[in-house]
Amino acid sequence: MKRREFLKTTAAVGLFLPGISGLARGDASPNERVNVALIGIGGQGGHQVGGLGSQNVVALCDVDDDRAGKVYEKFPNAKKYYDYRKMFDEMSNQFDAIAVSTPDHSHFHPSWIGMQLNKHLYLEKPMAHCVKECRILTELAREKKLATQLGMQRHAMPSMRRTVEAVQSGAIGEIVEVYSRIGGDRGMPQPLDFSKPKPENLDWEVWIGPAKFRPYSAGLCPYNWRFWWDYGTGETGNWCCHILEIPFWALNLTYPEKVAAVGPEVDPERTSKGMDVVFDFPAVGDRKALKLYWSHGGFNREIKKHLERFGDRQIKMGNTFFVGTKGVISCDFGWHEVHLYDEKTEYQAPAETIPPSPGFHREWLNAIKGGEPATCNFDFSGKVAEAGLLGNAAYRVGAAEGIRWNWQEIKSPDCAAIDEFNYPDYRKGWEIG
């Protein structure tokens, strides 16, 4: 079967081609090295080299020889590829797991092919390029009982655990609102310049992959693809999995029932310099309904009403701000502060109940070998990734007044136009059925 036919047929008829290397979850001793293939090893992929370099790296795949060169030198016995499809064709029976660190638009295809072949998956955030792709990968991992981990590496920090414990302790009462943000105004890059020739070391066809074809431009590769909708997901996609995971973890959030988004005038091709998104989450169990605000560019102006309650008291502002009925918690990745409305009440830190991480990559390796699921496995991280990408879609469709969201169907009963941004549209030859 040719690679292109494989992409179409596997989705259409449920065919998968199991590898024969034999390391299903629980089949190996804890000390056995995992046979792994790394896809995308320049840039962010270098972190996977550091985290997985102790394993048996049998294949390396990257479209750019120059950016990948040092990694090739580190693993001289690993077979080198430009095209991951060829790698899967030739070597799928020689590795048990893959790590994918490609640009956003090309996260889905190697991940989907790999999981169809029963390969455990470490995938960089934001998981995929649209909501539907995230859902497919989440459900496929669950169906095949594969060990997964999304690249939300800060989840392993001890300080993040202490923040979650503080929120869950009830010290600030019931949580009614949460504000999360990433600062800066990155987006709306300069128009692309196509006048310079493609570097000889770069396989541009594979870099473009399933996305809209454009000629080579240094304005896209190696980095600024992030700020073009056809290839990236902007600063929201870049940071949402790191920052929104704090309230998702602390409050056990699942899927919103409503989303609204505002920002600068929408550019059809380039991501914006800022946006504000509001997610409405329904009441679940003992947790009441709440609003989660996401801002690219600074905190949503609604936060001011909560700060005013503290008068002259100074509150350090990080990337997330929990509002409860008894007080607030302000935090960032490395710290948190608890401020109670009643100044006479002294805050008592709760006991440390969340165990330390053995290491973010080690969690995944342990899961492959039959241990507990990694903490950012797709059943958790898929929801966080979907939220950020849904926020992008709501902004692009102009959902300033808010639209209802049916997460089961990945549809809005109020806005059919949002489908354009929540479902993929692959160029010819890259369809999956």
> What is the reported pLDDT for 126?
97
d(CA 384, CA 245): 6
Nearest partner of 338 among 308, 357, 355, 318, judged by Cα: 318
List pLDDT tens digits, range 66-80: 999 889 999 999 999
Segment 375-381 shows an average pLDDT of 98
> What is the reported pLDDT for 31?
67
Indicate the pairing of strand 175-182 with strand 120-123: unpaired
Dig out the tokens for 416 from the structure.
């059919």
> Does the pLDDT value for residue 19 go beyond 70?
no
Segment 324-349 shows an average pLDDT of 96
Whether 67 contacts 204, CB under 8 Å: no
Instruction: Tell me if residue 248 falls in helix, strand or coil.
Output: helix
> Does the pLDDT value for residue 163 go beyond 80?
yes
Neighbours of 312 (CB within 10 A): 4
Chain centroid offset of residue 170 CA? 29
> What is the reported pLDDT for 330?
98
List pLDDT tens digits, range 389-428: 999 999 999 999 999 999 999 999 999 999 999 999 999 9
d(CA 210, CA 129): 11
Q: CA-CA-CA-CA torsion for 349, 334, 107, 191, nearest 10 degrees?
A: 140
> What is the reported pLDDT for 367?
98
Dig out the tokens for 130 from the structure.
């649209």
Which of 41-50, 276-285, 320-329 is the least confident region?
41-50
Q: Kindly indicate the confidence band of residue 30, based on its pLDDT and cuts at 50, 70 and 90.
A: low
> What is the reported pLDDT for 18?
34
Helical axes 45-52 vs 65-74, angle rounded to 10°: 0
Q: Kindly indicate the confidence band of residue 301, based on its pLDDT and cuts at 50, 70 and 90.
A: confident
Q: What is the residue-averaged pLDDT of the chain?
A: 92
> Does the pLDDT value for residue 2 go beyond 60?
no
Kindly state the helix (H) or strand (E) to which residue 404 belongs, with its residue range: strand 403-404
- The residues, ordered by sequence, that sit 6+ positions from 363 with a Cβ below 8 Å of its Cβ are 149, 156, 357, 374, 375, 376
> What is the reported pLDDT for 327?
97
> Does the pLDDT value for residue 343 go beyond 80?
yes
List pLDDT tens digits, range 224-241: 999 999 999 999 999 999
**Amino acid letter, 208:** I
d(CA 240, CA 246): 10
Kindly state the helix (H) or strand (E) to which residue 48 belongs, with its residue range: helix 45-52
List pLDDT tens digits, range 118-162: 999 999 999 999 999 999 999 999 999 999 999 999 999 999 999
Sheet arrangement for strand 56-61: 79-81, 56-61, 35-39, 97-100, 120-123, 148-150
Domains of the chain: 3-155+361-376 (3.40.50.720), 157-186+230-355+388-422 (3.30.360)
Dig out the tokens for 25 from the structure.
């979850």
> What is the reported pLDDT for 300?
84
Sign of CA dihedral 93, 116, 8, 223: negative
Q: Does 28 or 376 have the greater pLDDT score?
A: 376
Dig out the tokens for 352 from the structure.
């440390």
Query: Which of left, alpha, beta for 14 (phi over 0: left; psi -120 to 50: alpha)?
Result: left
DSSP string, 147-202: -EEES-GGGG-HHHHHHHHHHHTTTT-SEEEEEEEE-S----PPPP---SPPPTTB
> Does the pLDDT value for residue 22 go beyond 60?
no
